[in-house]
Amino acid sequence: MILIADSGATKTDWCFGATLSDRQTIHTEGINPFHMDQTYMEEIIRHQLIPQLPASFQPECTAIHFYGAGCLPERTGGIVHILKHWFPHASVQVSTDLLGAARALCQREPGIACILGTGSNSCLYDGTQIIDNISPLGYILGDEGSGAYLGKRFVGDCLKRQLPGFLAEGLMERYGLTLPDLLEKVYRQPQANRFLASLTPYIYEQREVPEVKEFLKDCFREFFKRNVLLYKRTWPVSFVGSIAWYFQQEIQESAKELQLPIGRFVKNPIDELSVYHFHP
């Protein structure tokens, strides 16, 4: 019996079972060892995960594979300790969400794996491990192609009159914003990246406007130029993340212009991680 987790900022998808055919998927709040203390993570496991598992699963679990944001080696001791406590007979491996994305997308084949969600990331994957990674640098210095990046650039282009005026008017009306409100949310309130990413549904609705279509393609070209092209490999480029899923057409068009081979788009990494771990 094994337990697999794919943890993001808001939720963790868990898959458990003995075989691929009998596996089940459940969900809890997101777990991030970088931002959460051990007590809070323990509460999530105790009150959200354990009650959803069959009583017989804990003693029978032999392996746990946990992939998540914030799972840097120096930060994973707490979650390893908690999981070992609840699953005493299991070996526990905690890895980054980027490795989880690579294994979900590429399985055991080499490729370039990308995450395009609120933030962005990418790596060169040899079929087993990450062998190169261009630092994403966060939404202020980088995160090209992410939801935060799209939101930041779109707002700037609207208000700097680089895009048709009706787009700026529609954006402010849609979200009930004034210019002072917007500046307050970006410069003074916490989690400005999430606010900026929250504007992407409006961008998606306007994606057939010629200027917006070109805007999107330019954003994804920037992602490829400043990240993927630096790996200097012709391996297929594959994607997870909400931005990647909903803007597949624009990503594919941008990649074609740069002669990059596109691999797969995966909506739910936990499904493909199950395939990876149940079929070693």
pLDDT per residue as tens digits for the range 30-79 = 888 887 888 999 999 999 999 999 999 999 999 999 999 888 888 888 99
Task: Write phi, then psi, for 271 (nearest 5 degrees).
Answer: -65, -45
Domain termination site, one of 217, 240, 259? 217
Same domain, 151 and 209: yes
Same domain, 102 and 160: no
- Which two tokens mark 5? 């987790």
- Give the model confidence (pLDDT) of 9-28 as tens digits: 778 999 999 998 899 999 99
pLDDT of res. 162 = 95
User: Do the domain assignments include residue 135?
Assistant: no
pLDDT of res. 191 = 85
Cβ atoms of 238 and 263 closer than 8 Å? yes
Same domain, 8 and 64: yes
Return the CATH number at 78.
3.30.420.40
Kindly report the number of other CB atoms within 10 A of residue 148's CB atom: 27
User: Do the domain assignments include residue 67?
Assistant: yes
Cβ atoms of 278 and 27 closer than 8 Å? no
Query: How many structural domains does the chain have?
Result: 2
- Give the model confidence (pLDDT) of 259-280 as tens digits: 999 999 998 899 999 999 987 6
Q: What is the pTM of this model?
A: 0.88
User: Do the domain assignments include residue 241?
Assistant: no
Same domain, 92 and 8: yes
Residue 169 pLDDT exceeds 90: yes
Residue 127 pLDDT exceeds 70: yes
Same domain, 21 and 85: yes
pLDDT of res. 280 = 64
Overall average pLDDT of the 120-144 stretch: 93
Same domain, 23 and 99: yes
Same domain, 7 and 103: yes
Under the banding of pLDDT at 50, 70 and 90, the label for residue 171 is very high
User: Do the domain assignments include residue 88?
Assistant: yes
pLDDT of res. 228 = 97
User: Do the domain assignments include residue 90?
Assistant: yes
What residue numbers bound the domain in which 149 lies? 140-217
Same domain, 146 and 102: no
User: Do the domain assignments include residue 233?
Assistant: no
pLDDT of res. 142 = 87
Same domain, 9 and 102: yes
Return the CATH number at 188.
1.10.720.160
